Amino acid sequence: MPISSLTPGDLRFTLDPAQLGFADTAELLRDPLPWIGQERAETAARFGLTMEQPGYNLFVLGEVGSGRSSLLQQLMQTVAASRAVPPDLCYLNNFDTPERPRALRMPAGQGRQLRQLMAALVKSLQVEVPKRLEGQEFKSGSERIEKAYLAQEAVAYAELTGFAEQRHFALRREDGHLVFTLRGEDGQALTEKEAAELPRERRAEFDRAEHELHGEINRFLEKTGAMERVMNEARAELRREVVRPMLEHELQAIRVGLKKQIKDSVKLGVWLDEVERDVLENVELFEVFEPDDESRREALEATLARYRVNLVVDNEGLSGAPVIVENNPLFRALFGSIEYQAENDVLVTDFSRIRAGSLLKAHGGFLMLHLRDLVADPLVWEKLRRFLRNGRLQIEEPGTMSSSMGAVSLEPQAVDVDVKIVLIGAVEHFYELQEGDPEFARHFRVKVDFADSFIATEATRRATGIFVAQACRRLALPHFSAAAVARLVEETHREADDQTRQSAIFARTEALVTESAALCHAGLVGVAEVEAALAARTARHDAVAERLRESVAEGDRLITLQGSRVGQINALTQIDLGDTRFGFPVRVTARTFAGHQGVVNIEREVELSGPIHDKGVLILASYLSALFGQLAPLALSGSIVFEQEYNGVEGDSASCAELYVLLSSLSGLPLRQGIAVTGAVNQHGEVLPVGGLNEKIEGWFRVCERAGLDGSHAVLIPERNRRHLMLDRDVVDAVSRGLFQVHAVAHVLDGIELLTGNPAGGPEVADSVLARAGQTLRDYRQACRRFGRRAGR
């Protein structure tokens, strides 16, 4: 296929604003924004979000800026709006085992209602219980109980007194103690001296009587102690009886207030019964006490705290299922936490310090996470794997295990969590996960693959206008004219390096919209503002490229732009700095001589080339051998080098240029230095497409432009790259004025004709490039044979 000289119309795609069907983006505000070019991803996402079966979580693949997060979030909101509002989640005190708080799910809004009702109950108890315990009913009942006790105690005391008198002892009460004294015949109390002077038999008799009295006193104390316990129990029962009606009324009001049927209604009823029992068991704490009685105050506060409701998930006000985007998935933020407080060198906590994480808050809805955030923390990753395995979440606080302080353990009741996880990651992350952790991957059966580019149509270009319109409304920017939108669409083709495809990385489009609008001072944003924004962006990032072009102009980098040279050519490379990429020429030279080393890649020898470049050189050598192998085994030693390249070479886009310099060196025919070359070659001599084509051409153009364009400058590109051309307008203009040319070639030998001015021919065609090269190889072969014979002597 002969070389094609491309026309200006071949060099870029230009969009007529009239084809867009609107005058400015204000007309598009009512149009819904589609998933531009992402139909496959949208279908997969809708399927995954509406699939109710477990294991159908979503793994979203795509480049940053492709809309993978924002579009999924919008779709999650849409699907969630049609779902039922999930229940609230409360944690309650466990009266039997406080270290294991109970979980309670309630219809949305009733968790807050229960919390308010229990708070009102606590206030009511603090007011009503003391009032009832100070009331006449309790006082009268308490007096009856005490009177009955005193009557029984008086009878027992009279019996004890009679027992003592029979044995000549006088019994009296003194400061709460029983005191007895020995009496004489006259009934008077004996002194110690008088008692000591009594006859021995009499003293022995009194000692026996005293021992009997001690036993009777002990029996009296036991009897009255039992009476006192009965009295206290009676008083306690009286307190309960006085308070119970009020308490039952309050709790019944709570039950009635929560009329909706709930899944955990039995659990709630049991807990309210336990509250009633606990209040009645501790009712004496509500009795009026002195203001300075701190121990009583603390005991009452601790008791009342058990009746609080810890509402960890409050779905009051939701109109559908929750949608949560967790951008900081630390362990606590994702799985919940238990707060601790240091008291006397011990970490203490209770049910009221349990906090919900994103997983609990997203129950019944959707949770978006980024894979890179998760794998950065092994604890988070392992906990998430366990959760996906069984669907139950246990809130824990792993930090307390490594604390130097003792800690009160707490094990909240685990709860089932029904949540659809949307995991955002790169393509390589998805396949690494499939291979490295298949158990985890099987929980993400829905792959939502965002394309980085898509085939352009009238619909996608109009949709781009809708995207611009909504960006203007969201960011409060002036609207864009149709011509400005057409220029933005052209830039999406440029970003995709394709005249038939648009880039799907709309984050860059939005950035350009913002930057263009900033240059608009009144009215609509036009083409001039878009062009100015693009120029300003280039100026901000072009320092490195500009310095390299200066180094050529100053003679530091040896790039020949005129004339012809043997074994020397200008290849085109692309430099990617992350924030920008640009093309730049690099001189490639070759030397050939008789020998048996073959083609030597000097970059490879010094470990400055990558595997793809090494592969390209080996393919080149294979093709060269195929061209001339029929003559005789090659006796060739040749070296190829990228001049003044010290940072390494990768890629095979210079393999055409490398072949040309080898053929030039072998044939002795000079190559035109005003024509730069890019393209890869296969073993059959076909020129393969390469990447970064526009940047490479423009990089060469800028260098030539600085030196002065005279019509001799051109580039030679692969024919298969024609549709990838989206060159800057100044390059297109130079081509239209005949100052610069772009040639396309399908077979590598067609390019050698352009570069040398001689026909490629074949090894047997006189004066052709291949014939000259073939003759040189024969000469090399003969030289090697002569050298071998001399060496044999």
Query: Residue 527 corresponds to which tokens in the numbers above?
Result: 């083409």
pLDDT at residue number 71: 92
Q: Which of 557, 644, 558, 655 is nearest to 601 (CA)?
A: 655
Residue 652 has pLDDT above 70, yes or no: no
Cβ proximity of 479 and 525 under 8 Å: yes
pLDDT at 635: 64
For residues 261 and 48, give the distance between their C-alpha atoms in angstroms, rounded to a whole number.
31
Residue 531, number of CB atoms within 10 A of its CB: 15
What's the token pair of residue 734?
Answer: 């130079």
Question: pLDDT at residue 401 above 60?
Answer: no
Is 124 in contact with 291 (CB distance < 8 Å)? no
Residue 631 above 80 pLDDT? no
The β-bridge partners of 4 are 744
pLDDT in tens, 83-104: 999 999 999 999 999 999 999 9
- Count the helices and strands in the chain (H runs, E runs): 26, 31
**Confidence band, pLDDT 50/70/90 cuts, at residue 186:** low
pLDDT at 50 over 60: yes
The pLDDT, as a whole number, for residue 791 is: 43
Q: Indicate the residue type of 226.
A: A
pLDDT at 369: 95
How many whole angstroms separate alpha carbon 650 and alpha carbon 613?
A: 5
Contacts of 136 (CB under 8 A, 6+ apart): none
Using pLDDT thresholds of 50, 70 and 90, give the confidence band for residue 72: very high
Q: Which pLDDT score is estimated for 206?
A: 65
Averaged pLDDT score across all residues of the chain: 85
Alpha-carbon gap, residue 608 to 645, rounded angstroms: 9
- Residue 391 φ/ψ region, left for φ over 0, alpha for ψ in the -120 to 50 degree band, beta for the rest: left
Is the Cα dihedral 73, 74, 80, 86 positive or negative? positive
Strand 675-677 with 714-718, pairing: parallel
Q: How far is CA 505 from CA 64, 79, 538, in A?
A: 7, 25, 19
Predicted confidence (pLDDT) per residue in 413-457, tens digit: 999 999 999 999 988 888 888 888 888 888 999 999 999 999 999
Bridge partners of 463, per DSSP, are none
Calpha distance 658→752 (Å, rounded)? 12
pLDDT at 403 over 70: no
Rounded to the nearest 10°, the torsion over CA 169, 173, 174, 180 is 10
Structure-token pair, residue 303: 């008791």
pLDDT, position 582? 87
User: For 14-18, 48-52, 279-283, 645-649, which range has the lowest pLDDT when averaged over its residues?
Assistant: 645-649
Question: pLDDT class for 596, splitting at 50, 70, 90?
Answer: low
**What secondary structure does DSSP assign to 320-364, as a single string?**
SS-EEE-SS--HHHHH-EE--EEETTEEE--GGGEE--HHHHTTT
Contact 338, 409 (CB under 8 A): no
Considering 630-634, 681-685, 693-697, the range whose residues carry the highest mean pLDDT is 693-697
Cα distance between residue 398 and residue 401, in whole Å: 6
Provide the pLDDT for residue 759: 86
d(CA 197, CA 189): 14
| Start-to-end CA span in the chain (Å) | 51
**How would you label 554-566 residue by residue, b for 16+ Cβ within 10 Å and e otherwise?**
eeebebebeebbb
Q: What is the pLDDT of residue 160?
A: 74
Are the beta carbons of 42 and 451 closer than 8 angstroms?
no
pTM over 0.85? The answer is: no
Share of the chain above pLDDT 90, in %: 44
Residue 654 has pLDDT above 70, yes or no: yes
Lowest mean pLDDT among 310-319, 355-364, 571-580, 720-729: 571-580
Whether the per-residue pLDDT at 661 is higher than 90: the answer is no
Four-point Cα dihedral 120, 125, 131, 137, nearest 10 = 120
Among 64-73, 183-192, 631-640, 776-785, the range with the most confident prediction by mean pLDDT is: 64-73
**Residue 587 near residue 626 (C-beta atoms within 8 A):** no
Least confident stretch, 31-40, 591-600, 607-616: 607-616
Give the pLDDT confidence score for residue 544 in this predicted structure. 87
Q: Is residue 608's pLDDT more than 60?
A: no
| pLDDT mean over 331-335 | 93
For 309-325, what is each residue's pLDDT tens digit? 999 999 998 999 999 99
Least confident piece of the model among 165-179, 484-498, 567-581, 757-771: 165-179
Q: What pLDDT does 602 receive?
A: 47
Determine the average pLDDT of the residues in 686-702.
Answer: 91
Residue among 660, 674, 700, 645 nearest 567 (CA)? 660
Q: Which amino acid is at 146?
A: E
Of 235-249, 252-266, 671-685, 722-736, the range with the lowest mean pLDDT is: 252-266
Q: How far apart are CA 760 and CA 616, in angstroms?
A: 22
- Flag whether pLDDT at 384 surpasses 80: yes
Task: Tell me the range of 529-538, 685-694, 774-783 where mean pLDDT is highest.
Answer: 529-538
pLDDT score of 317? 87
- Which of 209-218, 270-279, 414-423 has the lowest average pLDDT? 209-218
| Six token digits for residue 478 | 């002036």
Rounded to the nearest 5°, which phi and psi values hold at 478?
-65, 155
Q: Flag whether pLDDT at 263 surpasses 80.
A: no
Say what the pLDDT of residue 793 is.
39
User: Across residues 663-683, what is the average pLDDT?
Assistant: 89
Amino acid symbol at 679 = G
Rg (CA), the chain: 47
Torsion sign, CA atoms 526, 527, 532, 538: positive
* Paired sense of beta strands 675-677 and 453-455, if any: unpaired
Helix (H) or strand (E) holding 378: helix 378-390
| Stronger pLDDT, 595 or 608, i.e. the higher one | 595
